[in-house]
Amino acid sequence: MGGFLELVAPKVLEIDALRKEIDVLKPKVKKALMSYQGIDSAKKRLLMIYLLVSLGLAHHLEDEIDETLKEGVEKKEEMIEGENDLYTVSIIFWVFRRYGHHISSGDSQRTNKGQRKFQRISCRRCQGYVDGLYEAAYLRTTKDYIMDEALIFTSRHLESLAADGTCPPHLSVRIRNALTLPQHWNMEMLFPVEYISFYEQEKYHDEMLLKFAKISFKLVQLQYLNELKILTEWYNDLEFESKLPPYFRHRIVENHFFVQAMCFEPQLSRARIIMVKYFTILVLLDDTFDRYASLPQAEGLANSLERELWPQGRSYNVSASKEVFKTHVKTNFDLAKWGLVYHVPSFEEYMEVGEVEVAVYATLASRYMSKGKMAAKEAFEWLKSRPKIVQSLCVKGRLMDDITGFQDDISRGYVTNAVSCYMKQYGVSENEAFRELNKMVGEADKIINEEFLTITGVRHCVLKAVIDLARMIHVCYNGYEGYTDPQGKIKEYMTSMFVDQIRL
């Protein structure tokens, strides 16, 4: 943990200077966005919104983006009509769906002039596919069959293009990164780490946008380092290192990194700090139940931690969050009891418990706890109803966790895992189980996207928290168990956020 924090000391004066620069640049970017008028200009505004999101700047212009999309929703058919540029159509689709506005995937076929077969990708047309159709395909729902085809087609051809060395180096890097982790399932402030570098190497980049992106990202980095300093002092004051048993995973830096998925904006510092503390407690419980302690010891620990977990005030928020926490503890008990006797339940029985134990509800509760009184009450009441979008996220989280952690589970004799349950129930091999469970993850992704577009009567910020948590899960379990063993890509990601300060 200390290795990251010893390298860079946050500078208050530097933070203040960056904020002043942002105050100068923000009105200029706002003016550039809102100056476009007419149908063609509306398209340009949507293309600029895509850039703002990709460069990590969208949170500076939320009101202007909302206004643009509200106006654009009524004109979306007109914008698509007659537009034959694949990149433009795909970005229009991506932006509307990204912000929860439905737009038919059938409209994207118009670039193929009525043909269902996609055109072969050349290097010249490559960006229209990687930042356009390929990325747009990840916002597909259960009914977007054309997007299923698009994803298969673009993935295959982009892999070939990245391997043959015909693209400019920065574009090849962009393709490989997208194939590894698509933007839709990437964390909102992690994606700009790579995209700012890519955009800077584009021939026709906008210098003002690039400067704004770098300054904004630098501010975020310094803000995060300040928070890590506060959290480290809290952690040391409680003497976790000396008082906790040796099995406990000390994960303050990792917890902060993953919490960024849920609330990355500089002004949400308090929410991040609360969530990191919450995550630290959840990890302690998970380690205790899952690996080392007896059930009475684990129960005693759970009861003793409640006082530290929740801040004072916000009585409804605290009460509702505690109820979610208690449910999470119960499912930890249930899985621990199965694990102690090497029980492999039916797949359905396991998932009923495991979907809650994976901490999706507990994590969302910690995010909603930091909202205002009315917003939090609405969010908790909605969460209590076990909405389909959250259930699907639980499926995604449980299965991705169990698939990537399967070998570690088996190596320590722990058999209560989705893979083991599926293999036993259906009499299939390990590889067959992996294949079928990954299909379930893909289907859960489609349902999450679909519900995000169709749910009504729930605040956008409440729904967005679900999507943000889906991104956290995807980054954490993208072919590796990124929390238990935060090496490789996760270490690389954390280094880019905390250590490698962006050059202005």
Question: Per-residue pLDDT for the chain (504 aa), expressed as one digit of tens each?
Answer: 445 555 455 677 889 999 999 999 999 999 999 987 666 788 899 999 999 999 999 999 999 999 999 988 888 888 888 788 888 999 999 999 999 999 987 655 554 443 445 555 555 566 667 788 999 999 999 999 999 999 998 998 888 888 887 888 999 999 999 999 999 999 999 999 999 999 999 988 999 999 999 999 999 999 999 999 999 999 889 887 787 777 677 889 999 999 999 999 999 999 999 899 888 888 887 777 766 556 666 666 666 655 555 555 455 666 787 788 888 888 888 888 898 889 999 999 999 999 998 999 999 998 998 777 777 888 999 999 999 999 999 999 999 999 999 999 999 888 999 999 999 999 999 999 999 999 999 999 999 999 999 999 999 999 999 999 999 999 999 998 888 788 889 999 999 999 999 998
Question: Which of 55, 26, 136, 153 has the alpha carbon at shortest distance from 91?
Answer: 136
Identify the pLDDT of residue 316: 64
Q: How many Cα atoms occupy the beta-carbon half-sphere of 277 within 13 Å?
A: 22
When the candidates are 3.30.420.40, 2.40.10.10, 1.50.10.130, 3.40.50.1820, the CATH number that belongs to 25-185 is 1.50.10.130
Identify the pLDDT of residue 114: 39
Q: How many Cα atoms occupy the beta-carbon half-sphere of 102 within 13 Å?
A: 12
Paired tokens of 32: 């550039």
Identify the pLDDT of residue 256: 96
Contact 126, 167 (CB under 8 A): yes
440 to 14, 375, 405, 425: CA distances (angstroms): 47, 32, 17, 16
CA distance 403 to 240: 31
Question: Which of 227, 159, 238, 220 has the alpha carbon at shortest distance from 502?
Answer: 220
Contact 248, 239 (CB under 8 A): no
Question: Which of 270, 457, 283 has the alpha carbon at shortest distance from 369?
Answer: 270
Identify the pLDDT of residue 305: 59
The domain segmentation of the chain, as residue ranges, is 25-185, 217-498
Three-point CA angle 99, 105, 109, nearest 5°: 135
Q: Residue 335, Cα to own-chain centre: how many angstroms?
A: 26
Q: List the alpha helices (DSSP H) in 37-75.
A: 38-54, 62-73
Do the first three CATH levels of 25-185 and 217-498 match, i.e. the same topology? no
CATH 1.10.600.10 at 217-498, yes or no? yes
pTM of the predicted protein model:
0.92
